[in-house]
Amino acid sequence: QNNYKVTVCGAAGGIGQPLSLLLKQNPLVTDLSLYDIVHTPGVAADLSHIDTKSKTTGFIGADQLGDSLKGSDVVVIPAGVPRKPGMTRDDLFNVNAGIIKDISNSIAKNCPKALVAIITNPVNTCVPIAAEILKKAGVYDPKRLFGVSTLDVVRARAFIGHALGVDPQSVQIPVIGGHSGVTILPVLSQSQPLFKGDQATIEKLTVRIQEAGTEVVKAKAGAGSATLSMAYAGARFAGSLLKGLNGEKNVVECSYVQSKITEATFFSTPLVLGKSGVEENLGLPKLNDYEKKLLEAAIPELKKNIQKGIDFANA
């Protein structure tokens, strides 16, 4: 087909703008739809002067949400309130949960077959909310709903690549679980090239990957959370969804999806992406004893995060 409509919900934000810029450069996108409650006409006018083939249209305000989504093949959602210093991702919960609920209801009406990728935090909880809302509307397909945990993989590749003195782009590493603190499980024992070191070194890198979002929040000192790296990761993930839709084979990304792999009903593992979204869940990579302990710590936290989303959606 080679010809797709992508909608960014929250396109005027710190993540949304660079994400839209990167998507504007993706040759598989023909129709780039930018939705936000502010500024999208300007962002769209600006991007529309870039000499790539996609048509860029801005939609502003809740009244235009439906039109922005209509017929979308892929919807990427960074809409929400970002973290400020001292805030955890969960503090954002009430505002962001409401936004996800509204957008999910509109997706159900306007593009029920779209592949939906959620960036809005807390991702661990926002994805189950969207699932419940889509379920209530009778259009939920677990193969088509994703939490974007690509930034955890991107960070792990950057940290390992620079530590080993190799090109980060050549590093392969599964990062599984969820997208917050202890739920993030970088499987360093399976990294290629292998990240070797004593246990203290392994633990230090593991914790750095788990807490990398906080590293950025602190460094930005009040100006928000990760935006540019998140936009890069979001564009890479959306690009992989589009490649899968377009029939490319062996497109693999780790993403947070409904899953029977562990006791947590949503869990990130490597997935093969294809025409209908998740083509195959590749399951848990081999874990060493330390990683098994991390998994044991992640599961109860994830289950809590998931239940919170289910309760919110059904309240």
Which residues would be at the binding site for ligand APR (CB under 6 A)?
9-10, 12-16, 36-38, 78-83, 92, 96, 99, 119-121, 224-225, 227, 230
Number of other residues whose CB lies within 10 A of the CB of residue 168: 16
Q: Closer to ligand APR at the Cβ: 11 or 188?
A: 11
Query: How far is Cα 252 from Cα 278, in angstroms, rounded to an integer?
Result: 10
Q: How far is the CB of 123 from ligand APR (least distance, A)?
A: 8
Please state at what angle helix 289-314 crosses helix 199-210, rounded to 10 degrees: 20
**Residue sitting closest to ligand APR (CB):** 13
179 is annotated as an active-site residue? yes
Query: What residues contact residue 198 under an 8 Å CB cut-off, 6+ apart?
Result: none
Q: Closer to ligand APR at the Cβ: 36 or 141?
A: 36
Q: Closer to ligand APR at the Cβ: 81 or 137?
A: 81
Query: How far is Cα 235 from Cα 126, in angstroms, rounded to an integer?
Result: 19
Q: How far is the CB of 217 from ligand APR (least distance, A)?
A: 9
Spatial contact of 306 and 125, defined as CB atoms under 8 Å apart:
yes
Q: What is the largest CA-CA distance in the chain?
A: 56
Buried b (16+ CB within 10 A) or exposed e, 107-131: bbebbeebbbbbbbbbbbbbbbbbb
**What is the DSSP code (8-state) at residue 285?**
P
Q: Closer to ligand APR at the Cβ: 82 or 161?
A: 82
H helices of 56-92, where?
65-69
Of 39, 49, 162, 179, which residue is the catalytic one? 179
Residue holding tokens 């500024």?
39
Q: How far is the CB of 281 from ligand APR (least distance, A)?
A: 24
Q: How far is the CB of 309 from ligand APR (least distance, A)?
A: 14
Q: Closer to ligand APR at the Cβ: 120 or 262?
A: 120
254: phi then psi, degrees, rounded to nearest 5 = -80, 130
Active site residues: 179
